[in-house]
Amino acid sequence: MALTIPHAEQVKKRFVASDLPWRGFLMASVCAGLLLAAARTFAEDHNPFAGDAKAAKAGEYEFRINCALCHGLGAHGGGRGPDLTRAQKKHVHSDAEMFQIISNGIPGTVMPANGTNGQGVGMTEEEIWQIITYIRSVELKAPAQPLGSAAHGRELFYGDANCSLCHMIEGKGGRLGPELTGVAGSRTRESIIDSVRNPSRRLAWGLTEATKEFPQEYETITVVTADGKEIKGVALNEDSFSVQMMDQNEEIYRLEKAKLRSFKKSRESMMPKFGAEILSDKDLEDIVAYLVSVGAK
């Protein structure tokens, strides 16, 4: 692992520099090897700052510089970076695992390996441990008990609450809205509830790559074609000259803007606001519990 190399180099140099007789050299090599192995084990398995408040503070600053763009200020989660304050994390449990993930990234996700995001050589081992110490200092001590019933939430999702008309989970459901299988793996309970109660709020944000949680932004598009047909749906993609969109019947349209009679884009989501009068707090908790049961897998 790249990060342990500086340590290894130092250990090696110390032995090479000393004036050793030939016989001792072999011994020294063996010792160096052992020391190297020891340094490696120590470096990756044990947090030298565990519980150290000063290190946690340093880690907070490092977190801001290196992690907060995706994981949010206070580690509460950003658009694409999971909330790291939750006790149970999707990919890691121990400090050592966390060290590995910060160092090497998570293949198949946008979590980069340390030093590979175009921002230079990355953090030192010490700084990584400080960040881990910080995350440990802000995380909840026990896994949040799901407030609702996942089984009932599933019933609602595919039944009375009509979520599945537009959202898909594990291959089942509609296509107009974002696929939600993994959504609870990265987003907090509060932000999911907010998205159900106020679906337009996130669309109103200035979304950058780092805050985009879905590949599309799901703005609402209303067009009138040259022959007078009105089409309303969500944006799949758009540039200055064309738009690709899906209407409520899940039809995909490819349109040239110059040929349209009118083109309107709105950050008012097509998803209706699910207020408490439509969906009670208890039923919403059940749906969140269902999303968590799927997303935390």
Partner 1 sequence: MPRRSRIFYRLLMVCLACGLIATRARGQVTFERLLNSGKEPQNWLTYSGDYSGRRFSPLDQINQKNAHTLVAKWVYQTAATGKLETTPLVVDGILYATAQDDRAFALDAGTGRPIWMYQHPLPADVRLCCGRVNRGLAILGDKVFLGTLDAHVIALDTKTGSVIWDVVAAEYQKGYSFTVAPLAVKNLVVIGVSGGEYGVRGFIDAYEAATGARQWRFYTVPGPGEPGHDTWEGDSWKTGGAPAWNTGTYDAVTNQIFWPTGNPAPSNRGEGRAGDNLYSNTLLALDADTGRMNWHFQFTKHDEHDWDATEVPVMLDSGGKHLIAQANRNGFFYVIDRTTGKLILANAYGKTTWSGGKDAEGRPVAKKEASPTLEGHTVCPGALGTTNFMAPAFDPQTALFYVTARDQCDIFSTAPQPYEAGHAYYGSAYFPSDDAEPYRGFLKALDPATGEIRWKFEHTSPTWSGVLATAGGLVFTGDAEGNFIALDAASGKPLWHFQMGGAVYAAPMAFAVDGKQYVAIAAGSGVYAFGLP
Instruction: Give me the residues that bind partner 1 (CB under 8 A), please.
Output: 60-61, 64-65, 68-69, 73, 118-121, 124, 204-208, 210-211, 238-241, 267
Q: Which residues contact 253 (CB under 8 A, 6 or more apart)?
A: 231, 233, 243, 244, 245, 246, 247
CB-nearer residue toward partner 1: 154 or 202: 202
- Give me the DSSP letters along 42-100: HHHH--TTTT-HHHHHHHHHHHHHHTHHHH-GGGS--SSSPPSSSSS-SS--SHHHHHH
CB-nearer residue toward partner 1: 25 or 61: 61
What is the residue whose two structure tokens read 């049961």? 293
CB-nearer residue toward partner 1: 114 or 149: 114
CB-nearer residue toward partner 1: 58 or 176: 58
Dihedrals phi, psi of 247, to nearest 5 degrees: -95, -175
Report the nearest approach of partner 1 to the CB of residue 152 (Å). 33
Report the nearest approach of partner 1 to the CB of residue 14 (Å). 21
Report the nearest approach of partner 1 to the CB of residue 275 (Å). 22
- What would the 3-class secondary structure string for 206-252 be? CCCHHHCCCCCCCCEEEEECCCCCEEEEEEEEECCCEEEEEECCCCE
Report how far Cα 33 is from the mean position of its chain's Cα atoms. 39
Report the nearest approach of partner 1 to the CB of residue 73 (Å). 7
CB-nearer residue toward partner 1: 60 or 83: 60
Report the nearest approach of partner 1 to the CB of residue 69 (Å). 6
Report the nearest approach of partner 1 to the CB of residue 211 (Å). 5
C-alpha 29/C-alpha 37 separation (Å) is: 12
Gyration radius of the chain's alpha carbons:
25
Report the nearest approach of partner 1 to the CB of residue 205 (Å). 6
C-alpha 276/C-alpha 284 separation (Å) is: 9
Q: Which helix (H) or strand (E) holds 288?
A: helix 281-295
Tokens, residue 174: 């509609």
C-alpha neighbours within 13 Å on the C-beta side of residue 140: 13
CB-nearer residue toward partner 1: 120 or 171: 120
CB-nearer residue toward partner 1: 90 or 265: 265
Tokens, residue 90: 């999707």
Report the nearest approach of partner 1 to the CB of residue 154 (Å). 32
CB-nearer residue toward partner 1: 164 or 186: 186
